[in-house]
Amino acid sequence: MATSPHDQYHDEFAMTGQGSTGNVIAAVCSFFAPGLGQLVQGRILTALVHFLLAAILWVVTFGTMGWIMHIWSTISAARWRGEY
């Protein structure tokens, strides 16, 4: 029985759910640099938004509220599920 390209893609990326190795690595990256984990996952626009929001928060609040974006970016990367 022949498999379709969609089935091969699904099998290859079946481990991109919450708690997968890829998401854990992405979450760690996002903790240190908001948006980096999303970039590792291939979500370029989301990565840019997270990075810019973090930079804005750090500057506007004189370094007191930037951690909110670090945490949000980390959780976003850890919980992301690829499209199947």
Q: CB burial class (10 A; 0-12, 13-18, 19+) of residue 58?
A: middle
The overall average pLDDT reported for the chain is 80
Q: Crossing angle of helices 67-79/21-32, nearest 10°?
A: 170
CB 50 within 8 A of CB 69: yes
14-40 pLDDT, tens digit per residue, is 445 555 788 888 888 888 989 999 999
**Rounded average pLDDT over 27-55:** 91
Q: Does any domain span residue 14?
A: no
CB 29 within 8 A of CB 20: no
The whole model's pTM is what?
Answer: 0.70
Q: Does any domain span residue 3?
A: no
pLDDT value, residue 21: 80
Q: What is the largest CA-CA distance in the chain?
A: 61
17-21, 24-28, 47-51, 70-74: range with highest mean pLDDT: 47-51
Q: Does any domain span residue 13?
A: no
When divided into structural domains, the chain yields a total of 1
Q: Does any domain span residue 31?
A: yes
Nearest to 43 by CA among 76, 15, 68, 70: 76
Residue 77 CA, distance from chain mean position: 3
- Domain of residue 58 covers 26-79
